[in-house]
């Protein structure tokens, strides 16, 4: 039951991979005010939550999602929808934190991600076990079965093989392709009765953020999918196999990979254009020259993360945990860092204004 996906990269997909790399480098080089960047990140997270839950039928508008998540307001007769967006937002927060501190995907992480998606905003929940019975995907209109996932007894081995493949190929396969395969295979296994689509998209984003494709936290792929759901589902509906054991497992997924890469390219290009419009006329070169060597080395972490941890500082500068904590405290005193989360166990820092 080994997992080796079948796909080829078309010339168009290859061009889109080059577009992604060019936009990624352009965004990393832009000198953005940290307050502006924090605002763009928050906007991206809210949009990701809105569109990913909308794909699954959530009825809240983008403005209502902001009411619920930012202002803590309630929407009458939309309790189920509120719970969904709170759950997704909490899982998104966890995914970004996990990606900042881990370079591998584990099954425990996936199970915790699913638990948060389903918990309605509760931060403490036990990892969800995989389904214990058969599930099916039905046409929302006719009710007919459009896909029969693998049997529950086969799910643990399939998930293990998928996770092994992801972690084995992040060094020798372009990361956008690894992310595309991850999304497809998780949706194919469908390891839960509910929440599979949301977790697939969160898992995809985790892979991208872990390996330098987080685009400073201000993009979302979900808007691209939601913009034309028919194309999204058509790309995932590979071949004629509507049963996992009758064609789906061996399908050529080149079409899905091409669709996914095109979506990344479009999303990255939109972010680059938006950020260039938000870039102030001046730059931070004088301020950067005033930093010491270790501060300059840590600075690029903020191109990827709104907040960083002492673990990231320790890993980057080869320090002990105690040494990294002491250095972070000094940098707060010097005005280089600001404490974002003051709790002892989850303390994080963001960059002070230049």
Q: Topology of 285-351 in CATH?
A: Arc Repressor Mutant, subunit A (1.10.10)
Q: Which segments of the chain have a pLDDT < 50?
A: 281-282
Dist CA 67 CA 73 (whole Å): 5
Q: What is the pTM of this model?
A: 0.78
* The CATH number, out of the four listed (1.10.3290.10, 3.40.50.10800, 3.40.50.150, 2.102.10.10), of the domain defined by the range 11-278: 1.10.3290.10
Q: According to the model, what pLDDT value does residue 18 have?
A: 96
Dist CA 64 CA 48 (whole Å): 14
Q: Nearest 5°: phi and psi at 234?
A: -65, -40
The DSSP bridge pattern shows strands 337-341 and 348-351 to be: antiparallel
Distances from the Cα of 71 to the Cαs of 66, 75, 298, in angstroms?
Answer: 7, 12, 33
CB 226 within 8 A of CB 54: yes
Same fold, 11-278 and 285-351: no
* 215: nearest Cα among 5, 4, 45: 45
Q: 268-281 burial string, b = 16+ CB within 10 Å, else e? A: bbebbeebeeeeee
pLDDT, tens digit, 9 for 90 and up, residues 26-85: 888 777 767 677 778 888 999 999 999 999 999 999 999 999 998 888 998 899 999 999
Dist CA 190 CA 213 (whole Å): 25
Dist CA 328 CA 7 (whole Å): 46
pLDDT, tens digit, 9 for 90 and up, residues 196-229: 999 999 999 999 999 999 988 888 899 999 998 8
CB 304 within 8 A of CB 32: no
Could you write out the DSSP letters of every residue in 123-192?
S--PPPPPPSS---EE-TTT--EEEBPPPGGGHHHHHHHHHHHHHHHTTTS-HHHHHHHHHHHHHHH--S
Dist CA 94 CA 123 (whole Å): 9
Dist CA 210 CA 105 (whole Å): 9
Dist CA 43 CA 306 (whole Å): 13
Q: According to the model, what pLDDT value does residue 281 have?
A: 47
14 bridge partner residues: none
Domain locations along the chain = 11-278, 285-351
């Amino acid at each position: 039951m080994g997992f080796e996906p079948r796909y080829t990269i078309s010339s168009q997909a290859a061009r889109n991979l080059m577009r992604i790399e060019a936009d990624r480098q352009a965004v990393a080089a832009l000198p953005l005010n940290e307050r502006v960047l924090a605002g763009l990140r928050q906007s991206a997270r809210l949009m990701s939550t809105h569109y990913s839950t909308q794909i699954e039928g959530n009825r809240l508008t983008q403005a209502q999602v902001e009411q619920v998540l930012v202002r803590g307001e309630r929407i009458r007769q939309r309790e189920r929808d509120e719970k969904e967006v709170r759950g997704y937002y909490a899982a998104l927060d966890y995914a970004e934190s996990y990606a900042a501190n881990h370079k591998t995907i584990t099954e425990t992480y996936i199970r915790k991600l699913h638990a948060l998606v389903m918990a309605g905003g509760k931060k403490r929940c036990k990892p969800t076990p995989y389904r214990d019975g058969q599930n099916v995907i039905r046409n929302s209109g006719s009710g007919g079965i459009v896909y029969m996932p693998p049997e529950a007894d086969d799910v643990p081995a399939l998930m293990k093989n998928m996770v092994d493949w992801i972690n084995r190929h992040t060094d020798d396969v372009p990361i956008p392709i690894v992310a595309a395969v991850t999304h497809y295979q998780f949706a194919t296994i469908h390891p839960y009765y509910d929440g599979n689509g949301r977790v697939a998209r969160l898992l995809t984003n985790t892979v991208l953020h872990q390996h330098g494709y987080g685009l400073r936290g201000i993009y979302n792929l979900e808007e691209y999918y939601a913009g034309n759901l028919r194309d999204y589902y058509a790309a995932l509906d590979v071949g004629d196999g509507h049963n996992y054991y009758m064609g789906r497992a061996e399908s050529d997924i080149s079409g899905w990979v091409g669709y996914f890469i095109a979506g990344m390219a479009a999303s990255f290009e939109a972010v680059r254009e938006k950020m260039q419009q938000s870039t102030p006329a001046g730059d931070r070169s004088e301020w950067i020259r005033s930093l010491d060597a270790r501060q300059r080395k840590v600075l690029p972490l903020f191109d990827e993360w709104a907040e960083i941890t002492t673990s990231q500082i320790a890993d980057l500068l080869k320090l002990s945990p105690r040494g990294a904590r002491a250095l972070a405290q000094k940098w707060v005193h010097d005005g280089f860092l600001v404490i974002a989360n003051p709790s002892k166990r989850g303390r994080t820092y963001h960059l002070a204004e230049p």
